[in-house]
Amino acid sequence: MEALRALPGGRLLTLRFEDFFVDPERQLGLLAEFLGHGFADEGWSARCAASVVQARSSWHTLPAGLADALTAACLPGFEALRRSGVRYEL
């Protein structure tokens, strides 16, 4: 995360996975814009957004022991994100 913060402006785009489910066309448009002119044609974002579907399962439905193990495994990443100003609710 420290190395990413050191990048000059315009060299880093942060997108949240969850935001692709809320507004996939907008998120894909941001990605295409970041990658630059010529990356995607006019309808690319809309075509890609049509293929975004919600996951059929969730870590919330895992048995308690597995959910706890997954949460513990992910904590270092969540802590790094928190230190960088990204907030997630567990």
**DSSP of 50-89, one letter per residue?**
TT----S--GGGS-HHHHHHHHHHHHHHHHHHHHTT----
Structure confidence by residue, pLDDT tens digits, 59-74 = 778 898 998 999 899 9
Structure confidence by residue, pLDDT tens digits, 5-61 = 888 888 989 888 888 888 999 999 999 999 988 888 888 888 988 888 877 777 778
Label residue 81 by pLDDT band (50, 70, 90): confident
**DSSP of 14-61, one letter per residue?**
---HHHHHH-HHHHHHHHHHHH-TTSS-TTHHHHHHTT----S--GGG
- In whole angstroms, give the CA distance from residue 84 to residue 7: 14
Cα–Cα distance list, 72 to 2, 16, 17, 78, 80 (Å): 22, 21, 20, 10, 14
pTM: 0.65
Q: Which residue has the higher pLDDT, 2 or 68?
A: 68
